[in-house]
Each structure stands twice: as structure tokens, then as C-alpha cells.
Amino acid sequence: MSADLVAALRAAVGPAQVLTHDDPGADLSAWEQDWRKRAHGRALAVVRPGSTAEVAAVVRACAAAGTAIVPQGGNTGLVVGSVPDDTGTQVVLSLTRLSAVRALDAANLTLTVEAGCVLQNLQDTAEKAGFLFPLSLAAEGSCTIGGNLATNAGGTQVLRYGNARDLCLGLEVVTAQGEVWHGLTGLRKDNTGYDLRDLFIGSEGTLGIITAATLKLYPLPAAQLTAWAAVPTLDAAVALLGLAHQHLGAGLTGFEVMGQFALGLVDKHFPALRVPLWQDSPYCVLLENSDSESEAHARAQFERLLETAFEQGLVSDAVVAGSLAQAHGLWHIRESIPLAQAEEGLNIKHDISIPVSSIPAFCAETDALLQREIPGVRLVNFGHLGDGNLHYNVQAPAGADAKKFLNEQETRVNTLVFDAVARYHGSISAEHGVGSLKADHLPHYKDPVALGLMRAIKQALDPHHLMNPGRVLTP
């Protein structure tokens, strides 16, 4: 049976683009292991179609054989959603060969690209044409736009430009039946019924396969300035955010918060990065001001903002980057927190969201709760405060066996944190999605009517549950 399917797949995409464990010297681990090394599955085959028609042919062949498909882009996802399970029965459908830029419409401010286009290449293409594609995250050198849309990725400029969903106008999708939905419109307005685009965005490969997208472009800012401020409390950080909105308006494109322990890990593992102002403050904040006038204008705005913040006691010390290189250096420190955490050892990651106004109370309550329940536990708290989205990560106590900690405490820690999130009317995933890691938790926290509607949609679009089964919704 599986030999027939492999033969059908080879006929669909060419023999060189179907990899199996039976191939001499085969090593499929790049497709079978997730980025965080949380899971290592075994694929029946890895298939790499080179066109939408080939994707459709692969889906039809798998549907005919009753074989499950795991779509995969850059495989940078953080919730174990893009790798096969360990049964050896699932086909990994890699989109990385579908990477062409199909069209740029300067007057319509849109760019149409294929799903496997690496985010950084897409940003570069936009920039060379004089535009900004504002989706930006630390994995941009290897994640793909298809994966970004499938997970509705966020990143560092959501505050101003929204997440992947807000940047997408149209999609081309191969359905679970192997049909092609040609929805690549560049329309900003279209009220002709249910929004299928928004259904596929964020569906984590469980409803169909995104093969191309039409995306929004923005004008490049004339200047981008970055500031780093030490704040005395989280309440002060929230008040500073309000002040920054007032002073900078639409120019405020980034507002990140970083806890002292998180920055201490960067200082410990990457001392060459020279983390500023972290030793004397519980939190530091990174602000970005994108200005359509000039650098001088942006600098003057930042100075007025910081002066007011000092007067109000919201900031205890601050630096404004003097050059683009310095600005990149400050962002690099922020983006190095997850890497420093990985250096420190395995950890429990969260990407929760809470209304911004409740974040200080949530953190005070949940920090104390975790300390009480698991003495010595270390909290690596940082994230996109401007979006109310925290990476409220939990690291084993110093000196403890991190693997053992993860095995024994992950479910308990997740439950403690997610229950607290629910008390504050937040979400258990603001960015990374549900994947396999949170699929068991979702039914406890999602509105039951919403969950029922999600199941009905899954049943209607993928009645045989062949599209990334077990992800988002448990059987």
C-alpha cells in the first residue's frame, strides 16, 4: 500500500523530490525533528512539490490512499506542529521549493509570493522595490510566509502593522480534496460572504495547504530610531507604553519588555553583546519609532517622550541608539533572549496574551504562585508588551536537571500559568499556535461553543482528518 503511494508521489513530483527511509543513506531528520528538539518523528516520505499543481496532485494521491499529510515550511515552529508523528505513516509535504515571487503591484501596494518564500527574502524583495513588508521575527532567516500565515505569526511590529493575518489580502490554497482555491485577490474590500482567507490563516495546516499569498506593502519609513529604557516597575512600563502612544502615534512600531533575569541570561551566555542598564532595574523596555519625516524629527520626538517619562518617574535611565548599527545591536540583544534561554537549558515556553492593563497584576500574582508551588523556579519574562503578549517562560531551578524538570513539571506549570491567564481573560497562545504541545489544553480554556464550531469546520473541510491530524484539535 505505502509502496503504491510512494510510486504515485514520485509520478506526481519527480523521483528526486520524494525522500524515504528506504533510499540509500537516507537522513530525513531535518524534516522529522522540530526546531526545539521536542519531538523526533518518522515520516513515510518527505515530498517536495515545485508548483501548486504538484501540491494538488500530492494531496489527491494521499487522499486516495487515506494517508495523513503534515505541511512544513521552514520548520521553525515552536509547538511541534510541522513534524510527523513516530508511526512512519504520515507524509511530510515540504513547501520550500515553492518560493517564487509572482508579482509586485506598486500602485496597489501588494506583493504576491509563493508559500515557501523565506520571510527575509520577501522583506528584501519589498525593500529593493522601495517598500516595507513589516512582518519581522527572529526566525525570519528560515521561516516561510506559508508557515507565518498558517500560524498567524506575530513578531516585533504587530503594535503598528498587525500580525500575519492583518498583512494578507488573498490566498491560494490546496484543499484537503486536492482542489485549488484561487483566492489571490489584492482587494482591500470584498464582502461576498464568509471570509475563507481568515479561516485558513492560523489553521496550522489542519484545513488545507497555503500555496501562495497576496500581501500588503507599506512605504519605507524615512528613519527608524530605537531606545532602551530601564523602568522601575511593570506598572511604569505600562504607563510608558501609554505615553509612547500619545507622543509617537503611528510612529510607535515596537515596544518590548525584558525582565532582569532574561537579560541576565543574555549577559551570561553572550557577554560580547554588552546588555545595557539591566543590573539595577527589574525590567528594561525597547522602543522603536518609525518616522515618515526624518531622523532629526524622530530623535526630537523620542527626547520629548523620554523627558516626560523621567519627570513622571516612569524611566530611571535610558539610551537612544546613535546609529543603525547600535539600533541593530539593541534588537539583537532582545532577540538573543530565547537563544540564551536555550543555552541555559530546556525550558517551558509560553506565548500568552493578557489585556495590557492587567499585565502587572497578572505577573505579580503568577510569579508569586509559581515561586510558592515550585521553590527556586526561574522566570524568564519578556515579550511584546505593546500587544499584551508575554513570553512568560519558566526555567528549572538553578542546578536542577532541566530534562527531569520538564518531564515532571511541564503539565503542572502549564496548568498554573494557563489558569491564571484564564482568570485575567487572556489567551494561552498569542503567537506560536496550538500545534501538538497545547492541543490537550485547548478544550479547557476555549469557549465550548467556539470549540464546537471549530470542530464543525474541521469536519466540513477535512472530513477524513488527513490534514495535520492531532494538531490544534485533538481527535
Contact 428, 442 (CB under 8 A): yes
Binding window for ligand FAD (CB under 6 A); candidates: 9-17, 78-86, 278-286, 419-427: 78-86
Task: Provide the angle, in degrees to the nearest 10, between the axes of the packed helices 234-248 and 359-373.
Answer: 150
Site for Zn ion in 425-444 (CB under 5 A): 431
141 or 463: whose CB is closer to ligand FAD? Answer: 141
Is 391 one of the binding residues for ligand FAD (CB under 6 A)? Answer: no
* Residue 134 binding result from ligand FAD, Zn ion, none, given CB thresholds of 5 to 8 Å by partner type: none
- Burial category of 220 from C-beta neighbours within 10 Å (exposed 0-12, middle 13-18, buried 19 and up): middle
Distances (CA, A) of 348 to 79, 398, 414, 474: 11, 15, 8, 21
* Residue 393 binding result from ligand FAD, Zn ion, none, given CB thresholds of 5 to 8 Å by partner type: none
Contact 248, 255 (CB under 8 A): no
76 or 347: whose CB is closer to ligand FAD? Answer: 76
Give the integer Cα–Cα distance in Å for 293 and 280: 35
Sequence letter at residue 414: N
DSSP string, 111-150: EEEETT-BHHHHHHHHHHTTEE-----TTTTT-BHHHHHH
Sequence letter at residue 357: S
291 or 431: whose CB is closer to ligand FAD? Answer: 431
Give the integer Cα–Cα distance in Å for 112 and 105: 8
Is 383 one of the binding residues for ligand FAD (CB under 6 A)? Answer: no
Number of residues that bind ligand FAD (CB under 6 A): 37
Residue 149 C-alpha cell reads as: 500565515
28 or 318: whose CB is closer to ligand FAD? Answer: 28
Kindly tell me which residue out of 146, 221, 259, 469 binds ligand FAD, with binding defined by CB under 6 A: 146
* Residue 388 binding result from Zn ion, ligand FAD, none, given CB thresholds of 5 to 8 Å by partner type: none
Site for ligand FAD in 205-244 (CB under 6 A): 205, 209-210
Is 151 one of the binding residues for ligand FAD (CB under 6 A)? Answer: yes
94 or 151: whose CB is closer to Zn ion? Answer: 151
In this structure, the dihedral spanned by the alpha carbons of residues 340, 345, 347 and 353, taken in order and rounded to 10 degrees, is 0
32 or 431: whose CB is closer to Zn ion? Answer: 431
Is 409 one of the binding residues for ligand FAD (CB under 6 A)? Answer: no
Of all residues in the shown chain, the one whose CB is closest to Zn ion is: 431
Is 432 one of the binding residues for ligand FAD (CB under 6 A)? Answer: yes
Is 387 one of the binding residues for ligand FAD (CB under 6 A)? Answer: no
Number of Cβ atoms within 10 Å of the Cβ of 73: 28
Binding window for ligand FAD (CB under 6 A); candidates: 18-26, 146-154, 179-187, 234-242: 146-154
301 or 336: whose CB is closer to ligand FAD? Answer: 336
Contact 257, 382 (CB under 8 A): yes
Kindly tell me which residue out of 13, 61, 91, 137 binds ligand FAD, with binding defined by CB under 6 A: 137
CA 351 to chain centre: 9
DSSP string, 280-344: T-SEEEEEEEEESS-HHHHHHHHHHHHHHHHHTTS-SEEEE-SSHHHHHHHHHHHHTHHHHHHHH
* Residue 143 binding result from Zn ion, ligand FAD, none, given CB thresholds of 5 to 8 Å by partner type: ligand FAD
Distances (CA, A) of 305 to 74, 227, 292, 384, 412: 39, 11, 18, 20, 42
17 or 144: whose CB is closer to ligand FAD? Answer: 144
At 92, phi and psi to the nearest 5? -85, 125
Is 72 one of the binding residues for ligand FAD (CB under 6 A)? Answer: yes
52 or 157: whose CB is closer to Zn ion? Answer: 157
Taking the complex as a whole, how short is the minimal distance between the CB of residue 435 and ligand FAD, in angstroms? 6
Number of Cβ atoms within 10 Å of the Cβ of 353: 22
121: left (phi over 0), alpha (psi -120 to 50) or beta: alpha
Give the integer Cα–Cα distance in Å for 163 and 195: 17
82 or 110: whose CB is closer to ligand FAD? Answer: 82
Is 370 one of the binding residues for ligand FAD (CB under 6 A)? Answer: no
Give the integer Cα–Cα distance in Å for 193 and 211: 22
Of all residues in the shown chain, the one whose CB is closest to ligand FAD is: 147
Kindly tell me which residue out of 6, 132, 139, 241 binds ligand FAD, with binding defined by CB under 6 A: 139
* Residue 253 binding result from Zn ion, ligand FAD, none, given CB thresholds of 5 to 8 Å by partner type: none
* Residue 214 binding result from Zn ion, ligand FAD, none, given CB thresholds of 5 to 8 Å by partner type: none
54 or 204: whose CB is closer to ligand FAD? Answer: 204
Residue 332 C-alpha cell reads as: 539583537
Binding window for ligand FAD (CB under 6 A); candidates: 17-25, 84-92, 202-210, 266-274: 202-210
Kindly tell me which residue out of 17, 52, 67, 76 binds ligand FAD, with binding defined by CB under 6 A: 76
Bridge partners (DSSP) listed for residue 347: 395
Catalog residues that contact Zn ion under the rule CB under 5 A: 431
Catalog residues that contact ligand FAD under the rule CB under 6 A: 35, 70-78, 81-82, 95, 115, 137-139, 143-144, 146-148, 150-151, 153-155, 204-205, 209-210, 338, 431-432, 435, 468, 471
